[in-house]
Amino acid sequence: MRIRKKPWAENEFNTNKNYIKEPENFKGKWKNFFKNENPIHIEIGCGKGQFISEISKLNKNINYIAIERQDMVIASALKKSREKNVGENLAFFSANVEDLKDFFIEGEIARIYINFCDPWPNKKKWAKRRITHRNFLKIYGEIFGEKGEIHFKTDNRILFEFSLNEFAEQNDWKMKNISLDLHNSDFKENIMTEYEEKFSSKGMPIFRLEADYKKV
């Protein structure tokens, strides 16, 4: 879906200190960008930025990078981060998930968050577009290097079941902390996205899992 252009977006791109126009220039150099040796976590598909802004404020000893393919969505996330007065441990850039290796070298990323991605509901036709498909898991493993982890949330049961199977069928992934109803579980560290707040308020269950990667 095409997002309507926002009149204030260009100014946000030009003035927001957390926006990176040419992220490929920092491939292998992100620790220089953040000016520290802290681990780097990324969110794929940051939406309007609530989750990544909140988690970056709670964990100053971790560097965060939010990635979104649509510029106007990134603009909204940038605005959110500025309004929340986030620190220097958060960066944003626009990119497609299949291009991650253009921006990160092996071993540069420690964790990936995937929150409420497009479920691509037609399994036979669109399965390979789902960003928990094994083709994408291979990309994530390559930027993790020896080890890493994914934290995944969705409200779509079909996508969640698909993702469980994809992780289970790969020798270098091991799942843990699987929840079929996150908000009625004993998990205490959840940070909600805007989308999650909307749908959980209607009583819809939220599915969550963590998957550890270890290079085989």
**Known active-site residue 118:** yes
Phi, psi of 29 (to 5 degrees): -130, 20
Q: In a 10 Å sphere around its CB, with 0-12 CB exposed, 13-18 middle and 19+ buried, how is residue 91 labelled?
A: buried
Active-site residue, from 71, 118, 172, 212: 118
Question: What are the DSSP E strand ranges found in 108-193?
Answer: 111-115, 147-154, 173-179
Please choose, from the candidates 156, 92, 151, 149, the residue with its C-alpha nearest in 3D space to the C-alpha of residue 118.
Answer: 156
List the 90-94 sheet strands across, edge first.
Answer: 90-94, 63-68, 40-44, 111-115, 147-154, 207-214, 173-179
Furthest-apart CA atoms within the chain: distance in Å: 49
Q: Tell me how far the alpha carbon of residue 20 is from its chain's centroid.
A: 16
Residue 79 φ/ψ, nearest 5 degrees? -60, -45
Beta carbons within 10 angstroms of residue 67's beta carbon: 23
Structure tokens at 74: 């990134």
Instruction: Point out the residues that are catalytic.
Output: 118
